[in-house]
Structure 1
Amino acid sequence: MLSHFGRALRALAVTAVLCAAIAPASAHEGHDHGEQPPVSAGALPRGEADSDAFEIVAIARGENLEIYLDRFATNEPVTGATIEVESPGGPVKAAAGADGTYRVAAPWLAKSGRTDLIFTVTAGDTTDILPLTIQTAPDAAQSVAQQEAAAGGHISKVSVLLVLGGALIGALLAAIALRGGRKAAALVAIFSMFLGAREPEAHEGHGHEEEKAQVAINTVSGERAQRLPDGAVFVPKTVQRIFAVRTLVAENAEHKKITELPGRIIPDPNASGYVQSAVGGRLSAPSGGFPRLGTRVKQGDILGYVTPPIAAIDVSDMRQRQGELDQQISIVERRFARYEQLAPSGAISRTQLEDTRLELEGLRERRASIEKSRRDPEALIAPVAGVIAEGSAVAGQIVQPSSIVFNIIDPSRLWVEALSFESLEPSRGARASTYTGRNYDLVYQGTGFADRSQSVPVHFAVTGDTAGLRAGQFLTVLVTTDDTKDGLAVPRSSVVRGSNGQDFVYEHTAPERFMARSVRTEPLDGDRVLIVSGFTPGKRIVSQGADLLDHVR
């Protein structure tokens, strides 16, 4: 009898344990798989519309309607426009902001449901009518909190029932333990361990629900750009203003093909020069010191001196020659003095007197030149006006004949030397592009006739502003050819290079939606590239801010 009663109690205990195991799992599953809050970038109620001239986005923020008005083709904000809204409360005029943002008081947004609006936009001579619909709903954060509270109440009721059932079963098992011995005690221990193992699972599930509610609240309360599951990029108008996103309508046209040539900056040979020493000697600085790099100098400025060294044998020869000249000068001076006394009496002619005077002046000049050659150094004079591009003069430095002491370049007159591997006609025009993306117009100057590593040098002159260029700087020369090709010409900033090396652009598919399109491009000129495949003409393409859209995750 007792054994039957024990088996019945053990069956009852197993049943209670199974019920305890199944009940919390069912409660957690019902809470976890309920209606999920929408995880979308457009969490705030909004409506959008566009036409050939404008596109408009209206966002409900509390009891106000925030309106963003942009040009359809360029995505440029429209300022100073007049917007009238036909609302459920009657016609109302929007207050204009300074950045193309407009605001309307909309107390009728407090009611949840569908609201149809009609916007009449007048900007300059253009007037357009744009209808749109806004679907409002109760506050998402409040809904999530209500769902969490309801789920929490359900879990609390289940927990109370489990506690009461567990207490009853525990009392029965305790009574059996007093009479049944070790088997009953083991059953009580197993039952207790099982209940302890189920409690953390319920707590873990509750923490997961709190995390979901927090994500939903964050999504509702803030506007942020994000990449959607279909690969599109959602960018609210507020973020587009920060990114300064601009677009253009891609049009197919015929363009001249471009050939890329490697090139480098060289100085204009008519506006640059070297300062060299004609003789070897020791350098010495002028009164103001040696000019520093980048110093602007004028033509004819003295940049330094070179004092040639004099050997001992040369000094001896010079002294001997000086002695001979001094002796001849003394003889001629006495002769000239005597002729001056005799000239008035007519004893000698005036011609003899003048010849003696000229002979004396010539001897003195020869004597002075020898003395000057021993003392005066050679002056280093700037041959052209410009800036000191190169130079390493040091006082006391010994320079050899024909060595370059300074290199002077006029920074406003620079040339480009490109290497061409095929016959070109650069008279049609060319452009140079640096690694930073800056472009310069070029004028053809001439083509070399001698080969240089299987190529021919071609010279161009840089026109316009040359700021940012340096002699020896490498760049790319783009020369127009006779060949033509059809394609879409877009700015280089429109093309983004992906991590896989593929080029792609962003299509503006909706006022706040952008889609990446893989394309194949070819260089067109310094500012634009040619899309030859992968994009359909007539659609809007991002021309500015594409690199920022690519970083949205």
Structure 2
Amino acid sequence: MALAALLSLTALAPTAHAHGDEDHSHEAPKAAIPVNKPAANAADAAPAGAASLEASARLADGSLFVPKHVQRLLAVRTVPVTEGALSAAVELNGRVVTEPGSGGRIQATQAGTVVPAGKGFPALGQKVRKGEVVAWLRPTASSLERGDRVGQQAELGAQTALAERRIARLEQLEGSVPAKEIEAARVELQALKKRQAALAAALDAPQPLASPVDGVISAVDIVAGEVVDAKALLFEVVDPTRLAVEAPAYDLELPSKVLSAEGLAGGRLLKLQVAGAGRLLRDQALPMRFRVLDAAAPLAVGQPVKVTLRTRGTAQGVALPASAVTRNAAGETVVWVHEDPERFEPRRVRPQPLGADTVAVREGLKAGERVVTSGAALLAQVR
């Protein structure tokens, strides 16, 4: 039993492999190979000239280091600036309105019940023509008013019957009575019949509600069978091809200085034409009206519009797209100048409006410098 135990322990012991009587004392010990050991500095481990493979970073002086491949991802575009004489401009906050005569409202002329003119009421956006009936208004009357009208009808019916009998008697006495008396009786009978017909038609006859102008239905404030009061607004019609922009001007001399006008609504540039200015202050401002020259522009009444007016007088400056101007972390207005292939420097500027989508920088830039016009907002987010 002891011998069996000894043999089992010998079998479990690790086997040593020898190479005969070879002497390994003259060999140098091999260096250990580290596994997954991070480099002390990624920049030191990168090969020379591989800076463009690093990430974007904000440098100590406030400039940015942006590799070329990151610039392509951010769609960074630059343009060289040129200095020249630029006109002054003024920005106004306006809104889209309808031109006089290009829009209309359909209102109830008296209290009544509104019923559709066809299968149903016109839908929003439906085109209508001037004079087209869009609904009917059935007048409503109280029991007392209806009783009075029925009584008037009965009274007129009795007067008509008496007039007919009188004419019949006069015609039997024709030749012995003056002809003018017979003619007067006939005229009186015709007047009584017309009054009777008019009263009967006014009792229950519906009134047509027609469109006052050509355009599209822009507001529907009615349901079938609804009882409305007099002057209630039922439908509103707008001609989308004849719209205008109204903006308040706080400078009373501004209308006489305007050379041209542009608008920006929903990211779309609008060509505007000055249509005039009133002489009645509204909220301490002078209302100015501009005609929209692009009839196909997708606009809606009440939509806000940023109006830029170019006025007389020029000054030196640099014209830039509005997308080139952004703000830094401190809230200052800056533009990014492309100093080196992978370096951008911020410049504090004070832009002035030049057009609907352009600004004028009077100082802070030099002619020939390349300014970022696309991707400036993304560069400002680099930390």
TM-score (norm 1): 0.55
2:369 match = 539
2:111 match = 280
What SS class does the counterpart of residue 209 from structure 1 fall into? Answer: coil
| Deviation sequence 1:227-281 (CA, Å, 0-9, x none) | 3746334342x66555544332201111111122222222212201121222122
Residues 407/279 of structure 1: CA separation in 2 closer, same or farther (3 Å cut): same
1:290 match = 121
Distance 1:331 1:497 in 2: 93
Please identify, of 381-390 and 462-471, the stretch whose mean Cα deviation from structure 2 is larger: 462-471
2:226 match = 397
Across the two proteins, how many residue pairs are aligned to each other?
350
- Read off the aligned partner of 2:261 and give its amino acid letter: A
1:387-426 maps to which residues of 2 (within 5 A)? 387-422=216-251, 423-424=253-254, 425=256
Distance 1:215 1:283 in 2: 83
- Read off the aligned partner of 1:431 and give its amino acid letter: E
Distance 1:418 1:354 in 2: 67
Please identify, of 509-518 and 316-325, the stretch whose mean Cα deviation from structure 2 is larger: 509-518
| Deviation sequence 1:198-231 (CA, Å, 0-9, x none) | xxxx98xx622399599859x9799676337463
Q: Give the gaps of 5 or more residues in structure 1.
A: 1-151, 158-201
What SS class does the counterpart of residue 305 from structure 1 fall into? Answer: strand
Distance 1:539 1:289 in 2: 65
What SS class does the counterpart of residue 464 from structure 1 fall into? Answer: coil
Q: 2:306 aligns with which of 473, 476, 481?
A: 476
Distance 1:211 1:450 in 2: 72
- Read off the aligned partner of 1:289 and give its amino acid letter: G
2:7 match = none
Structure 1 residue 367, shift from structure 2 partner: 1.7
Structure 1 residue 489, shift from structure 2 partner: 0.3
Residues 153/406 of structure 1: CA separation in 2 closer, same or farther (3 Å cut): farther
2:157 match = 326
What SS class does the counterpart of residue 469 from structure 1 fall into? Answer: coil
Structure with more contact order per residue of length (Cα contacts < 8 Å, sep ≥ 6): 2
Q: 1:366 aligns with which of 182, 190, 195?
A: 195
Residues 247/367 of structure 1: CA separation in 2 closer, same or farther (3 Å cut): same
- Read off the aligned partner of 1:264 and give its amino acid letter: R
Aligned-CA RMSD value:
3.8
- Read off the aligned partner of 1:516 and give its amino acid letter: P
The answer as to whether partners of 1:233 and 1:552 remain within 8 angstroms in 2 is no
- Read off the aligned partner of 2:125 and give its amino acid letter: G
Residues 477/222 of structure 1: CA separation in 2 closer, same or farther (3 Å cut): closer
1:232 match = 64
| Deviation sequence 1:360-384 (CA, Å, 0-9, x none) | 4443322221111111122221111
- Read off the aligned partner of 2:351 and give its amino acid letter: T
2:132 match = 301
Q: 1:488 aligns with which of 302, 318, 322?
A: 318
- Read off the aligned partner of 1:520 and give its amino acid letter: R
What SS class does the counterpart of residue 270 from structure 1 fall into? Answer: coil
Distance 1:225 1:354 in 2: 109
- Read off the aligned partner of 2:66 and give its amino acid letter: F
| Deviation sequence 1:415-463 (CA, Å, 0-9, x none) | 22211111212542222233x4433222222222222232222222222
Q: 1:445 aligns with which of 243, 268, 275?
A: 275
The answer as to whether partners of 1:250 and 1:538 remain within 8 angstroms in 2 is yes
| Deviation sequence 1:73-119 (CA, Å, 0-9, x none) | xxxxxxxxxxxxxxxxxxxxxxxxxxxxxxxxxxxxxxxxxxxxxxx
| Deviation sequence 1:361-413 (CA, Å, 0-9, x none) | 44332222111111112222111122233331123333222232222222222
What SS class does the counterpart of residue 433 from structure 1 fall into? Answer: strand
Please identify, of 362-371 and 461-470, the stretch whose mean Cα deviation from structure 2 is larger: 461-470
User: Percentage identity across aligned positions?
Assistant: 33
Higher helix share: 1
- Read off the aligned partner of 2:229 and give its amino acid letter: Q
Q: Give the gaps of 5 or more residues in structure 2.
A: 1-28
- Read off the aligned partner of 1:232 and give its amino acid letter: L
Distance 1:300 1:433 in 2: 35
| Deviation sequence 1:329-363 (CA, Å, 0-9, x none) | 334555667888999xx999998887766554443
Distance 1:418 1:429 in 2: 15
Distance 2:171 2:72 in 1: 100
1:312-391 maps to which residues of 2 (within 5 A)? 312-333=143-164, 359-391=188-220
The answer as to whether partners of 1:342 and 1:348 remain within 8 angstroms in 2 is yes
What SS class does the counterpart of residue 241 from structure 2 fall into? Answer: coil
